[in-house]
Structures are given as structure tokens and as C-alpha cells.
Amino acid sequence: MENHQTATASSAHPNPHQQAHDFRCMVENSLDLIIKVSLSGHYTYVNPAFCALYGIEANNLLGRHYSEDVVEDDRAMVDVFFNQLFTPPYAVNFTHRENTARGIRRLEWTGKGLTNAQGELIEFVGIARDVTDRLDLIDKLSQQANHDDLTGLANRRFLMKQAHLELARAKRYQYPLSLFMLDIDHFKAVNDQYGHLSGDNVLKQLSQVMQYILREHDLVGRIGGEEFAVLLPETDLEAALAIAERLRLAVQEYSFRLLHDTPIALTVSIGIASSTEVAQNFEKLWHESDMRLYQAKTLGRNQIFPVITALTPQPS
């Protein structure tokens, strides 16, 4: 009975040296990356998992500044999070990219400030996991869900989702929003005469031309077959017409290539509608641009509707 009581008392008051030893064993054998950093941002402790990721021995990492291995584009962001550790509650969570022995990896960090008995910050501890594979898979699945497999452009579902968001923003801030509907003229003849693989080549090349001509913040999507839609935020009808004309001319002048590098000339027809002239309702905007695409084709193809009057040849 006495021995049982003694054992119970001993377990209730563990040896602090044994506790420290056990804790160090856990840290040293953890698969997580565990570090300690001075207030100046230099490593004061790195566990074996951290060393293994960088392929560098601990002695060569101690004293190194945390920013040295951060991917350059992420350094400003990481500095912001590091500075947040100086403000209560002295804790941050973030994900960033680092240059490691395994290439660029994405690390998910939890950082915490350590204080002394007087409540003064003395150093920081960080625990991280390599989440690259998980985030890459999420990115891949998102890409597949939101983009067209052939061209890499936005698919119809994603484009319409973004269009509703942009239209809501246009209403809120009183911005114009324009929409193209674009179709390759006589594309069925390309498939019938040269085959669908050649047709696929044409679609991919047109996608590249569109991305080159359009602005960075414009969203272009393939909505089916040879038909595309382009969302132009903060763009009124006049500006949209000018962009459409640049695109029409670029396509007309481009030498498309079929299989076996056979050249072919193609044109497109474009219908445009803008929120400044159509009720700020996406379904109406979509319907109007689609109807105008039909009118452009009716006029003889290789056309834009509404017609750009300033660029229409005058009768002699």
C-alpha cells in the first residue's frame, strides 16, 4: 500500500529534469519543423526535421536570419507577420514559400512569442508543416473545376460566377461592365475538312491570341465549342468596342497552324453589351451580347456589333 502511494505521489510530481528530457526528445524526433528565433529574427534553435528540409546541419543554420530562405516574392508578407509577433497576443499563423533542399516548398507556420517572468518578450518559437503537396492538390482540383481542359481558359461555370461578382461590384461602385460574346467564323468547316485535332489546335491558338490582346484583369472563358465570352470590368461600351476591334484585327492577321504546321486564316465575330446601356442584370447582359453576336454573323461575319461607326468605311 505504501509503495502504491509513493508511486502515485511520484507521478503527481514528476521530476523536472525528466520532463525537460522527455520534451526535448519529442521536439528532436518530431516530424514538424520546430525553431526558436531571437527578437532580431535569427535562429537560436532548429530541430532535426528543419535541418533535413534544408539539407544543412544545425550548426550552420544557427545565427542565420529567417528571411534568407524565404522566396523573394513572399518576404514582405513574412516580415509583416514577424512584426505582428511583437504585439499581444504575440501569435501568428501564415503560409509562405521557402527555398529548400527539396525545391520551393510551402510551409504552414504557427508562431508564438515567449516571455519572461516580467512579461517581457525574450524570443519566438515557430512550428511548421510542409503543406506543399496538399495545397498543390487543392490548386490542381480548383484548376480542373474552374477551367477548360483544352484551352486552360475559365469554363462557363466559373466565368458566370465571376460575372455575378463583378456585376455586384459594378453596381456598388457605379463602374461600367462590358461583355463580349465571340465566335470563330466557319469553324465547323475546319473540323469537317481538317479533323477535330486540327480544330483543337486552332482553339488553343485563339485562346493565346485573346490572352495576349486582352488586359490582365479581363476574364476570358470558353463557354462551348468555338464560342468564347470575355468579361471586361470597369469598361464602358466605347472602350469595349475599341478592345474588340484590336482583337478582331489580331485574329484576322494571325497565321493559325493546323496539324503538320499547315497555315490557315480565320476570323471571328463579336457581340458586345455593356451595363451602361443594358439593365444591370447579368442574364440580360448575357442575352444582349449573344443576340448581338448573332447580328454580327448576319452582317457577314468578321464583324463587331454594335458596329464601330468611326471605323466603318464611308461610301465614295
Residues carrying an active site annotation: 226
CA 262 remoteness from chain centre: 35
User: What is the C-alpha end-to-end distance of the chain, expressed in Å?
Assistant: 118
Q: Determine the Cα–Cα distance for residues 178 and 160; give it in Å rounded to an integer.
A: 13
Query: Kind and range of the H or E element at 127?
Result: strand 121-130
DSSP structure class, residue 313: P
Asked if residues 239 and 214 have their Cβ atoms less than 8 Å apart, the reply is no
Decide: residue 2, CB within 10 A, 0-12 exposed, 13-18 middle, 19+ buried. exposed
DSSP structure class, residue 315: P
